[in-house]
A and B are shown apart, each in its own frame.
Chain A
């Protein structure tokens, strides 16, 4: 799948998901089987926007290349796609389907990546609505490529990447040859605010709509529920921390 037409040109695919604005009211309809989208503002999933997209743009700006964003979604998701284009991606692909689970989404993206050849595929750490952290690893396995998960730094040296990533209880610096799949976490880049020129340019950037391939649905969300309401907060006198400790021990039983 590597393109490497020349070494100063990287083809980067950035996977974008929409996510409800972080202040959205979370509620469900249809007997608690569907997220209530009423009044919900969708944004580009922050990890995809702040970290993977911006790092892809920085790589392109320093060594040259092309940044394609890809999303599996319906026509209503095009506003979110335009926002990512306004930040600076060159072109966009929308796989025309409702992304029912991570496996479905990953297989669609892997199929597109296989046919079109990319040096680097980036995803965000996770989405802020389903928090699965699944898509990146699934794409990597489907393409039989190495996957660097939760990278906080990514540098390109010719045809290899040097990355810093979180591991259980620490950090690791690793090196991997392209092509590769990387999921991007905090530290990778700084958020960019699109400017007027970017927003105007985004309107005319190419957006290709691709038909989905057939994929088995391995999982499905059957229903949703809300956490039980908290009982009222018990106020403790700031000069009486012995009382707080006693409550934590005797009442809450957590210490």
Chain B
């Protein structure tokens, strides 16, 4: 069996890339990575440690057009006779994997959270994280896109070879006019630690205490839907059923009531801490640790405690 893993290396290699290669390795068989762009071969070779036997890189293609990228990945799948193509379930995968599914006539499993079970089905979140589904792929070729933070990258091997590849990207029909990438922020879907706040914070001018805690922890920030709707926080921070679905190791929620639609996007978190003045807030039912108290007092205290903990060598 041959597995092809697509890695987005445009901004270097992230944990999600190591997760995807580890996942490919766990499927069994020979793992080839396909990527594009300028990342140096030395860096790409390190994917061998996670189980890749070879990295193919199309250096002539630097864009992010999904139609072109689909052609490149399809040629790599053909050349390696891949029976499964693995993606990390990010925005690129959401655009490219469905296209590739039609092109290769390969059944697509989006947002896998585990390796296939004994009966060959793959576990995914359904109903916005309120339940799990077991998806079976009936076609000979398969595409699986893996939800970030679903498994730990495992280093089992050594650096592998990196080969130039021409995937015949062809023409792009999409012209990029401008790109805005905020520097230094941790992308929310990949973040292992997330500090989130809601309407209980009363106004955008009060977010300093949320950001301070996030900074002390090295966490990303998120918010509830009304907070993004009224413009207190940017839309990309909105988590929940109609926002981003996340599954960090730690989710700290301050001044968020825990409505069912909010929980839908965060209940994949491994551990949840809830800070709320109202002991009856529904969020406490979903929480692992609860603090009944005023966010304006609790958050700065928690930040201090985290700083003290880090200063003590942790």
Give chain A's interface residues, CB within 8 Å of chain B: 20, 22-23, 26, 28, 46-47, 101-103, 106-107, 128-138, 140-142, 145-150, 152, 162, 166-177, 180, 186-187, 216-227, 230-231, 233-239, 241-242, 244-249, 252, 254-255
Q: Which residues of B contact A226 (CB under 8 A)?
A: 130-132
By the criterion CB–CB under 8 Å, are A169 and B241 in contact? no
B236 within 8 A of A: yes
By the criterion CB–CB under 8 Å, are A176 and B180 in contact? no
By the criterion CB–CB under 8 Å, are A130 and B126 in contact? yes
B92 within 8 A of A: yes
Query: Complex formed: what's the CA distance from A153 to B212 in Å?
Result: 32
Q: Which residues of A contact B291 (CB under 8 A)?
A: 235-238, 244
Choice from B108, B132, B137, B178 contacting A225 with Cβ under 8 Å: B132
Given A219-B109, A225-B131, A252-B250, verify A169-B302 contact (CB < 8 Å).
Answer: no
Q: Which residues of A contact B274 (CB under 8 A)?
A: 233
Q: Which residues of A contact B250 (CB under 8 A)?
A: 248, 252, 254-255
Query: Complex formed: what's the CA distance from A237 to B293 in Å?
Result: 8
Given A131-B126, A147-B95, verify A218-B173 contact (CB < 8 Å).
Answer: no
Query: Complex formed: what's the CA distance from A255 to B270 in Å?
Result: 12
Query: Complex formed: what's the CA distance from A237 to B264 in Å?
Result: 27
By the criterion CB–CB under 8 Å, are A219 and B136 in contact? yes
Give the contact stretch, choosing among B22-30, B159-167, B281-289: B281-289
By the criterion CB–CB under 8 Å, are A244 and B273 in contact? yes
Given A26-B131, A238-B297, verify A219-B94 contact (CB < 8 Å).
Answer: no
B97 within 8 A of A: yes
B contact residues, range:
35 or more
20 contacts between A and B (CB under 8 A): A47-B242, A103-B108, A128-B241, A130-B133, A137-B95, A146-B67, A171-B180, A172-B180, A173-B176, A218-B106, A220-B135, A220-B138, A221-B135, A225-B131, A226-B131, A230-B286, A234-B290, A235-B289, A239-B301, A241-B305
- Contacts A226-B130, A234-B288 aside, 19 further interface pairs with beta carbons under 8 A come to A128-B127, A131-B111, A133-B110, A138-B99, A146-B173, A148-B174, A150-B91, A152-B235, A170-B181, A172-B180, A218-B139, A219-B135, A221-B126, A224-B134, A225-B132, A233-B290, A236-B290, A242-B309, A245-B308
Query: Complex formed: what's the CA distance from A236 to B305 in Å?
Result: 14
- Shortest B308–chain A CB gap in Å is 7
Q: Which residues of A contact B260 (CB under 8 A)?
A: 22-23
Q: Which residues of B contact A223 (CB under 8 A)?
A: 121, 133-134
Q: Which residues of A contact B11 (CB under 8 A)?
A: 168-169
- Shortest A46–chain B CB gap in Å is 6
Nearest residue in B to A33 (C-beta to C-beta)?
B134
- Shortest B229–chain A CB gap in Å is 9
- Shortest B45–chain A CB gap in Å is 23
Choice from B99, B193, B238 contacting A254 with Cβ under 8 Å: B193
- Shortest A185–chain B CB gap in Å is 8
- Shortest B194–chain A CB gap in Å is 11
By the criterion CB–CB under 8 Å, are B289 and A236 in contact? yes
Q: Which residues of A contact B243 (CB under 8 A)?
A: 186
By the criterion CB–CB under 8 Å, are A140 and B108 in contact? no
Q: Which residues of B contact A230 (CB under 8 A)?
A: 285-288
By the criterion CB–CB under 8 Å, are B302 and A227 in contact? no
- Shortest B200–chain A CB gap in Å is 14
Q: Which residues of B contact A107 (CB under 8 A)?
A: 102
By the criterion CB–CB under 8 Å, are B309 and A147 in contact? no
Q: Which residues of A contact B110 (CB under 8 A)?
A: 131-134
By the criterion CB–CB under 8 Å, are B176 and A166 in contact? no
Choice from A135, A219, A246 contacting B107 with Cβ under 8 Å: A219
Q: Which residues of B contact A239 (CB under 8 A)?
A: 301
Q: Which residues of A contact B238 (CB under 8 A)?
A: 186
